[in-house]
Structure 1
Amino acid sequence: MRRYRLDRSAPAAWADPARLDEAQRAVLEHPGGALLVLAGPGTGKTTTLVEAVARRVEAGLDLGSVLVLTFSRRAARELSERITARVGAAVGGTVAWTFHSWCYSVLREFPRPGDPPPRLLTGPERFTRLRDLIEGSRELGRPRWPASLEVCLRTRGFAEEVEALFARVREVGFDPAGLGGLAARAGRPDWTALAEFYTDYLDNLGYAGAVDYPELGHRAVTLVEDPEAGQALRARYRAVFVDEYQDTDPAQERLLTALTAGGADLVAFGDPDQSIYAFRGARVRGLLDFPGRFRRADGSPADVRALGMCRRMAPPVLAASRQVATRLPVSGLPVAALRAHRALVPAEQDRAGQVEALSFPTEAAETEAIVDLLRREHLAGGVAWREMAVLTRSADALPPVARALTAAGVPVDMAGDEPPLAARPAAALLLTALRCADAPASLTAADARALLLSPLGGANPAGLRALGRALREHARAAEAAKAEAAAHSRVIADSSTDAALPAKVDSPANVDSPSDTDSLSGGDGPAEPEADVDAARVARGPASSAEMLRAALADPASIPDDIDTALARPVAEVGALLREVRHRLRAGGTPQDALWALWEGTDWPARLRRASASGYGARRRAAETDLDAVVALFDAVGRLGERRGPGGRARGLIADLTSQDFAADNRAGAEIRPDAVRLLTAHRAKGLEWDIVVVRGVQDGAWPDLRAQHSLLGTEQLDAPERGGLRPPETPRDRWAEERRLFYVAVTRARRRLVTTAVDTAGEDGAAGENGSRRSEFLAELGVPVVDGSSWTPRPLTLASLVATLRRVSVDQAASPAARRAARRRLAALAAAADHAGRPLAPPAHPDRWWGVRDVTSSDVPVVPAQEPIRLSGSSLTSLRDCSLRWFLEHEAHAGSPATTAQSFGRVVHALVDEVTSGRTPADLAALDARLDTVWRHVAFEARWRSDQERAAAREALARFLDWHAAKRGRVVVGSEERFSIDLSVDGRPVRLRGSIDRLELDDAGRVHVIDFKTGRAAVGARDLAEHVQLGTYQLAVREGAVDERVAPNAPAEPRLAAPAEASDRPEAPEQPEPPNRGEAPDPANAPGRPEPTRPAEAGDRHAVPGGAELVLLRRDADGDRAGPREPGEPTGSPQVQRQEALPAGRAWVDELLGQAVRTITTETFVPTKGPGCDYCSFRRSCPAWPAEGRQVVD
């Protein structure tokens, strides 16, 4: 077994004194006092700082009396390690700090009297607190926000603006009262309200014993200025070193001023040309003012020295960077020091390097060239992926490059704004599992499905559907058995009671006696028999499959024994894992322990580790992403656990994490980078370096970005109180300088090769044209010619392209036999290649991965198990006939589009038509119009005018219906919205045909006529009408006895439902219709609201005879024209009616269609079929029947 040991010792070279040049030695020999060191990129700044600290220690200064401040944890850690290695001392405390970490340490060392040490809020915690307080201020009416801000108080953007303003207020040195005074002088009512709100915010922090980052700096300044604490700190630190001084803000400058007021040495390293964080409050002016702010003991300005030798960049790269640097404006520094700072010389004059400036006609061409360049450097040049980077001006330009590199097989490490931790899939899964374990009542059907399909459960959708159906069928059988038992008990009870009933009950004269009826029922009305209740429950059916799965996961022991063990295994395993974690929490375990139990409770970690080590493709990248998320989750939970203490509850931790709107800083993993090409913005690249750097998108409008940086609350206008509190507006010249400094930072990240690219669509006259772009003048400042890259046609250097080329050549009849044989040999060699663990290096080369030569796959779990009935309806038969693939995607994969307003329109009209037909609403247009108003507000439209238009159309449709409803047709109404379900046998398979018929009518001959109301605008063609599937399905159901109960022999004499009501018969107070369902358009077979009678068809039954079927087109006039807009009061006519002849008594076309549908589902042959429905299909863009619109290439 291999064993590994983490070696934390510093490199041996760090212990040896460094070889310094003359400028560096001058810094070490500085006699004391304040010193500003101008340190350009790669000039040995860090080495100089370490040696300067070592020199003071060697001179007798205790290392504990040296304070080193910088701006990142990575830099602070490296400085600490290098200093301790160099001086050879075992230091108990920290040597180098970030500004924030040092401020936090002194606040904890010198707490306010009577207060515990403050708790530091993370960025997400601070933001969440701000949003909550803003919402609370609206409810309390304090402060009184200006009317101009009322509309945006609830938005995330407003909270971000407030957060930025409060940070700037503390940076420049204001308190809430000072901001209020400035608001009065500047005439800013928004600042007045914010000053009052800031007071409330600080009070809230005080009550919670918390502090945020801006307040941290402010309190540290106050502490250092305090006579007692400040004197102790000034006595402790005799030498202060500051790295990256150009990034300091005014608050940090005040801190350094107070800390070194006792005469301590202050050595600051900075570069005015790399001052790029003005948006954070760091202005280049702070560095330029250093000599005057930190003076010598005699009152003269501080010394300024410059480091002049560059060890990073090859001479060509350094020369290009000097071309840019000479155009950067700087004033206020000694001329000699500035000249030495700008005139850097390379440490190695003969070192090879390369600088290129390329322009492309399109972004796609630019990206393709970048991908090819990086792959060639790696494959031909041997450059490691981690030694290459692509930099952009904005984060928006990174994703296209990341997608292209990923598609080409290039590993990518993209720095950007991470999603909130709770939104990252792996972390979200563990938090969901933790919540469901801690609070079982919170487990929803959606949670259950997510957990079972997740890596924790390992179920697949087909298996989960099969399990849900099995659970539902088992519950249905149990309900039926219970109803049958209840009915049997009822019969026995009735038979035993009949003899004991009083004689008067049998007397017709006394049956309706109120007193007798009440005494028998024991209540205010007749009791509903228990058997009837159970029968109704059976008709409604058991809970949904999703709810059954939820219940099974909550109690795995409730799963029936006769259900397939393989199907039930995921539920049993996840349920047992949740139960174990719940017991651990109840026994006093911490949330960290519970999360670890969830993480280690399955083989998910092992699978992720294997996928991460596979070294190939998207599977590895996805695994690494999940592992990163899990590491970040445990890091965040650890931090929250430290703050909450041992008594922290799981639900509180979950609430903290799920309330965060953006990612917190991740301590774990931030210092360990994968072997991948870095993609990041120029701002994030500062302080980093690579062998190969590509600076992308250097074109006008993007770089430089000269748009004015205005904020809603005027944050950028705030300045220090001693400067009047207000900063002059930023000028275009200021923006140019800031953008040029940012470009300078980007180009100085390269060690050996620098490539800058731009999209340039300008013509010979230099005009970019509409929607075009033109390369930035920054490209010309590099001093190299800009090369047109439009002719760049690289041969892709990817494994996939190599395999594709070899496959193409192996079957190309135009190629020579020798070439074809060679291609096949190489394919075989690639397919057989494997790494040391036996994993294939080129999976796409193996014929098993060539989809185009493989048979169509089949699932281990059938779409409909053989023992279960195939459930079909008229709409599903239509879908299967038109395109079986679309049926599968919509009905089985549930990948269809959400409901449309047209479907909602139809639901409203059908509901009101049913109420009139069933007699619950009078057949009066004014009454229907009033009812329409009550439900129309539930129908969502994107525009008011559209809602008004459709509302008028609905009224016209109802008017046509009333005209048709009142007409004499020699038939009586016997059913409305009549649901049916009938069991058939088709080709030996059980089939359950279900549906809902809009209206049933019976003629004098006893034949049943089916009516189907349509609210679409189009009529059906004559040829299609004869075999209209939905009408044919309804007639088939009538023929097979599905509606016999409604059309008994005496039905024409005693119709169950009302015929058109006369005015005198209309009810006085009609019931209000229910609002329409706003979910997806329901299958008529699944429409809610009525019990679903299930009747098996039996041989020899005499069933109702279909007399034909009719489509009543409520949006078309009887003359066949589609109805258009009408003037108010203009009468409407009858609707267009299209009739389908009655089905014959024997086998008809619909029987053949039903048989074909059953065979399609049984054989699972779901193929795409072109037709008119393609124009409205959600899957057309990915359908193989439409190659022009996108398909997967498999051959």
Structure 2
Amino acid sequence: MTVGDAMGDRTAQDTTGTADTTAAREEARRNAELRRRIGSADDVRIRLDTGAAHTSGPVRHWEGLAGAVVTGDDRVDRDMPYAVLGGPGTGKTSLLLDTLLNYLRGGGDPAGVMVVTPSKEAATELRGRLTELLRDDPDYAATGTPVRSVHSWAFALLRAVTQRRGDPLPRLMTGADHDLRIRELLRGQAEDGTGRWPERIRPALPLVGFARQLRDLLLRASERGIGAARLTELGHRHGLDMWVGAGDFLREYDQVQRLSGSHSLNASDLLHRTLDELTGTPDGRAVVEAQRRRIRLVLVDDAHNLDPASGALVRAFAVPGVRTLVAGDPDQCVFHFRGADEDFLTGMAADPDHRIVLSRTHRLGASAVTAVNRLERRLPAAPTRVPLRGGESADGATVPDLEIRRAPSETAQRLVVADAVRRARALDGVPWDRIAVVVRSTGEIAGLRRALLSHGVPVKVDPTSVILAEQPLVAALLLALDALSRPLTVAEMQRLVESPIGGADPVMLRRMERAAAPAVAGSGLRAMEAVGLVVTGRADPHEAERWTSRFGPREQQVLTRIRTVTDAGRAALDSGGSVEAVLWEVWQATGLSTRLQTQALRGGTLGSQADRDLDAVMSLFDIAGDLVERTPAISLTTFLDGVRSQELPTGGRDRRGVRPDAVEILPAHAAAGREWSVVVVAGVQEDTWPAGPTVGGLFGQQELVDLADRGIDPAVPVSRSAAALAEERRLFLLAVSRATRRTVVTAVSSAGDEAAVPSRFLDEINGDTVADTEEEPLPHPTEATVDALPRVLAVEPLVAELRDAVCDPRRPGHERRAAADNLARLAAAGVYGAAPVTWWGTAEPSSTGPAVAHRHGDATPTVRISPTLLENLGAGATGPTGTDAACDLRSFLDRLRSVPTTEPMKVGTMIHAVAEGFAVGLTLGEAQETVTTVVPWLVDGPEWTAAPLTASCLEAVERLHDWLAGRAGTGRTVEVEKKLEHVIGRTPPDADGTSLPVVLAGRTDRLETAADGATTVIDFKTGKHAKTKEEAAVSPQLSAYQLLMSLEPGRQADGAMLVYPRVPTASVKTLQQGRLSDADLAEFREVALAAAARVAGPAFTATDGCDGTEYACLCPACRAGEQVV
């Protein structure tokens, strides 16, 4: 054809008619508009219409290319996927949901939809939103859900392949189970000396940290399709012996799995195994073809968090002819440490004609939008990124702001968090389940949880943040199961008694120990050991009855609870029941199920804790059921060891149809893809957020990733600081962009030796850095520095503040009256602690009389004192007595309690017995034989300490024998262990004129009496340190013995003596107290009577003599007892 012919043809076409030309141009204009990039030029507009009767919630109207994609316009290209990009709250997930709804309401088959999310939590969230939108649609019906995580899709496909082939079905193992198997195999290699590990590394094989790093390397290798042989080859090629050892370990691990017949796969292995089956086997290709024929719509949410294998699985079904939408935001990719890679998303978005960019947020307010944009500007450049634009509420008002709170201490920060949560609930009416507290790491959760619960906030903790065996109720159930196969230790029995199963508190535990202690004395058992034998049925019935004879009704109730549980478990075990059946019988016997269900349904703080306990028990049953299904004959001990060996948190199966009404505390990574009304981002510190760069560790995990993904030789130094900082900044961006109403960011700012520095990210979002040079003023977060102990908007702090005002005499009268009026109103409303009758220190004493007992049934009570008591009180001493600081309260309490028998006390009793034996004819050889036999039974420490103690005691006995032999033949009468007791007078009258008789009673070690009745008192001291001569001369104990001797008929005191056989000297060390005159004895008598009045009570002088003892918490003079009034 010539040029002229062509021109002629063109002219002919142009003259065919004006109508056709106009129609063609209009069609071309519409198609051109459809192909334009939407978003950055403000062309995406979403209108909300609440008038649709068949939907739940508002209907969104999308315009431009987004509208065409959502409605499935025939002009939309079905041979290429479309990428939907946008920042936080721009509507990416909503666009996918609307696309799915339009497809289903247009008659699309639900079985032809494939909705993919990167995690099961995201799938649950999206599935819930879809169910909410479709619940009132009478035309919708489906046999299954189209929304699944990528691993769920992979598992379903692999299961279909294995079913088609007739192979055993695969299982997906948890991270904790995978970690346990690796540690068990490493432990075996360490014991057998196998494996190709370098010799310098072998001592580390059994360590948990070594197993964790090895598991991380194997996961990174699996995500990139690197098997055992390839990993070993890379190790040899690059001279990395740890890769060689890891490759050999992976080979042995795979062999063990095959030999055991296990078909369990971890998440990374699952994806690669599925891809291998789908592309490399006839059955796999058949499954792919069948799925492709059925699939008509593929939707991928949060695609930035998919790893390369997940992306490959999606691509296998996103083929020409299938509508495909991939949504995500590269700036929110925070799972690089798990293998996530935004390359899949950015690759899908490479073509501008197939890219939708949403830039207007419908979640964040103006300050939060500014903060997000400032953070994004510091991230690595991205060609598809556009600034986030703010949204407005329906009435035109901007969405609430972003707040920054700097606290002076960790305690103050926790109070700030509690106050923010309480105010959101009380003032703004935000439901508990629409509030979240986000932290950087799981280690910060426990402290915040306690602070929130103490202020009446129900709390839900992310289940993947807590190790199952560390849950209190699970730990108690495991102890109850332990009791079926072995005796529990004392510590374990105490925990079981105080657990929800036993139901005792610390006071009840001590009462049980005190009640059992006298009955088990001499049996070689401790009180809790005996209780453990009783409740587990291992004690002789007669012994069990004797040991518990002093138990009251409440103590018996605790025993009955535990015994009922162990009896039920033992019956199930003896009948041949499986581990799951035994666990069920134990759980039923606790009787906790109904109580916890009731508490959970009531809500509140107790309800949230009951929810947590029930979830933990259900997870324990899941593990038991899975183990029994895999290994029906598994023993109880193996099950218990397996549960306790799981040292990684594991999320259980979520069976709840509704979200618990509680505030969720979760790490920042767990907040990905989620949204709340109010979010508190806590603990934004420079040392934790941003955290330091993660190095490759012992195994060089990062070097393997760089080699596999970017071809970087491991020998080439690579700086990871910038990449790590960018990852932390993305994580912080994600955390501060989760709230629809308000975000509160808290940090600790303090100086001193342990200075706390707020994160640099706070300055970045506040625009306080040099890089922030906006042309026009932008909204800033509101910032405040809080007090040392900020107020919390809760009832308990309010009552405490009002009580402080009422009781403070320095306050003005009108303030105290106002506080009293408010307390009266609160008390009338039934608020606990508001009524003065409930305040400590305001109730009248239960008794105003002396705290003494009646003597021998007499009507008048008697004050009994002893020489040792007077020594402890320092009565009559003019200088230091060598005892602890005198304390009346301590002396009074010591007389009321049973003193624990210590090793020095037992040694002292033995030497006193030997001294008594020497007085009645015991020979030195017999005494030495006794010491050699008895001492090994007296030691409380390791067995090797018996030998040096025996040698020391033998020397003491020999010194004592020689000293006593030197005093023989003096003509004095010797008496040993002589009891002396006399009424020495009455106490000085108190304010009421009351005076009580005082009895001084004691037992002397040895008395030596001359013919004229002059008696010397000898007191043996078995300590290794002696008093000084001056202290002995004024010793109240020796003075008390001389006073008692002066009251004995026919005797008079002739001095007293302290004898120290264990002090390492050539001969026995002795200290003398001279004979006291009648005036000295009379003066000491008055001192003793005054001391008796001091210890009789009911009031005791507060001194710091209790400081450092277990009584310190009862005394206001000690730091630990400052709260006592």
Partner of 2:734: 745
Amino acid at match of 2:784: G
Amino acid at match of 1:633: L
Residue-by-residue CA offset, 1:840-898 (whole Å, 9 max, x unaligned): 4x21213343122235689xxx9999999x999999998899557668999999999x9
User: Does residue 582 of structure 2 align to residue 633 of structure 1?
Assistant: no
Aligned mates of 2:344, 2:914 — CA distance in 1? 74
Identity level (%): 28
Match of 1:1184 among 1093, 1115, 1118: 1115
Amino acid at match of 2:757: S
Superposition pairs for residues 893-932 of structure 1, below 5 Å?
A: none
Distance change (3 Å), C-alpha of 1:697 and 1:48: same
Distance change (3 Å), C-alpha of 1:351 and 1:615: same
Amino acid at match of 2:197: W
8 A Cα contact 1:1183 1:1191, kept in partner: yes
8 A Cα contact 2:361 2:389, kept in partner: no
Distance change (3 Å), C-alpha of 1:353 and 1:174: same
Displacement of 1:271:
0.6
Distance change (3 Å), C-alpha of 1:1003 and 1:637: farther
Residue-by-residue CA offset, 1:994-1038 (whole Å, 9 max, x unaligned): 99x9x9899999988543232358758616862349x989999x9
8 A Cα contact 2:159 2:169, kept in partner: yes
Aligned mates of 2:506, 2:381 — CA distance in 1? 65
Distance change (3 Å), C-alpha of 1:705 and 1:601: closer
Aligned mates of 2:427, 2:375 — CA distance in 1? 31
Residue-by-residue CA offset, 1:770-801 (whole Å, 9 max, x unaligned): 94636525434444557663476865533223
User: Does residue 220 of structure 2 align to residue 168 of structure 1?
Assistant: yes
Displacement of 1:615:
7.2
Superposition pairs for residues 293-692 of structure 1, below 5 Å?
A: 303-331=354-382, 335=383, 337-339=384-386, 342=388, 350-359=397-406, 362-363=409-410, 366-415=413-462, 418-436=465-483, 438-439=484-485, 442=487, 450-458=495-503, 540=522, 544-555=526-537, 558=542, 560=545, 566=553, 568-572=556-560, 574-587=562-575, 589=577, 591-601=579-589, 604-605=592-593, 608=596, 625-644=612-631, 650-668=636-654, 673-692=659-678
User: Does residue 304 of structure 2 align to residue 246 of structure 1?
Assistant: yes
Q: Matched residue of 1:143: which SS?
A: coil
8 A Cα contact 2:406 2:785, kept in partner: yes
Displacement of 1:138:
0.8
Aligned mates of 1:709, 1:134 — CA distance in 2? 23
Displacement of 1:275:
0.9
Partner of 1:1055: none
8 A Cα contact 2:307 2:341, kept in partner: yes
Unaligned stretches of 5+ residues in structure 2: 1-51, 768-778, 858-862, 875-885, 970-974, 985-995
Partner of 2:1071: 1138
Distance change (3 Å), C-alpha of 1:1019 and 1:230: farther
Displacement of 1:162:
1.5
Partner of 2:89: 42
Amino acid at match of 1:970: G
Distance change (3 Å), C-alpha of 1:894 and 1:261: farther
Aligned mates of 2:822, 2:475 — CA distance in 1? 44
Amino acid at match of 2:162: P
Residue-by-residue CA offset, 1:551-586 (whole Å, 9 max, x unaligned): 433449645598677254443454345334433444
Unaligned stretches of 5+ residues in structure 1: 1-9, 293-299, 477-539, 763-767, 834-839, 942-949, 1041-1098, 1118-1132
Partner of 1:274: 332
Displacement of 1:219:
1.4
Partner of 1:20: 62
Displacement of 1:346:
5.5
User: Does residue 282 of structure 2 align to residue 228 of structure 1?
Assistant: yes
Distance change (3 Å), C-alpha of 1:779 and 1:823: same
Distance change (3 Å), C-alpha of 1:849 and 1:662: farther
User: Does residue 207 of structure 2 align to residue 155 of structure 1?
Assistant: yes
Distance change (3 Å), C-alpha of 1:179 and 1:54: same
Displacement of 1:137:
0.4
Distance change (3 Å), C-alpha of 1:265 and 1:182: farther
Q: Matched residue of 2:798: which SS?
A: helix
Aligned mates of 2:53, 2:866 — CA distance in 1? 75
Match of 1:218 among 266, 272, 283: 272
Number of matched pairs: 984
Q: Matched residue of 1:718: which SS?
A: helix
Partner of 1:107: 158
Partner of 1:779: 763
Amino acid at match of 1:256: V
Aligned mates of 2:585, 2:978 — CA distance in 1? 48
Q: Matched residue of 2:1060: which SS?
A: strand
Match of 1:189 among 229, 238, 241: 241
Superposition pairs for residues 937-1086 of structure 1, below 5 Å?
A: 938=942, 970-971=966-967, 1009-1016=1018-1025, 1022=1031, 1026-1028=1035-1037
Aligned mates of 1:82, 1:190 — CA distance in 2? 47
Partner of 1:1170: 1103
Q: Matched residue of 1:386: which SS?
A: helix
Distance change (3 Å), C-alpha of 1:980 and 1:221: farther
8 A Cα contact 2:684 2:758, kept in partner: no
TM-score by length of 1: 0.68
Partner of 1:31: 77
Amino acid at match of 2:273: R
Aligned mates of 2:451, 2:616 — CA distance in 1? 24
Aligned mates of 1:1020, 1:610 — CA distance in 2? 71
8 A Cα contact 1:411 1:675, kept in partner: yes
Displacement of 1:70:
0.9
Aligned mates of 1:625, 1:430 — CA distance in 2? 15
Displacement of 1:62:
3.8
User: Does residue 188 of structure 2 align to residue 136 of structure 1?
Assistant: yes
Aligned mates of 1:1193, 1:614 — CA distance in 2? 34
Displacement of 1:356:
3.4
Aligned mates of 2:157, 2:1084 — CA distance in 1? 85
Displacement of 1:542:
7.7
TM-score by length of 2: 0.72
Match of 1:807 among 792, 803, 806: 803
Partner of 1:486: none
Aligned mates of 1:1154, 1:187 — CA distance in 2? 85
Residue-by-residue CA offset, 1:323-367 (whole Å, 9 max, x unaligned): 322332234xxx4x433x755766765334223345455555555
Displacement of 1:454:
4.2
Moved more, 561-570 or 709-718: 561-570
8 A Cα contact 1:957 1:1115, kept in partner: no
Amino acid at match of 1:583: A
User: Does residue 110 of structure 2 align to residue 67 of structure 1?
Assistant: no
Aligned mates of 2:976, 2:619 — CA distance in 1? 54
Displacement of 1:388:
3.2
Moved more, 553-562 or 626-635: 553-562
Residue-by-residue CA offset, 1:1076-1130 (whole Å, 9 max, x unaligned): xxxxxxxxxxxxxxxxxxxxxxx99x99x9995535386787xxxxxxxxxxxxx
Q: Matched residue of 2:744: which SS?
A: strand
RMSD between superposed Cα atoms in Å = 5.9
Partner of 1:527: none
Match of 1:711 among 676, 681, 697: 697
Q: Matched residue of 2:841: which SS?
A: helix
Partner of 1:1094: none
Q: Matched residue of 2:184: which SS?
A: helix
Displacement of 1:663:
3.3
Displacement of 1:194:
1.6
Match of 1:256 among 314, 317, 320: 314
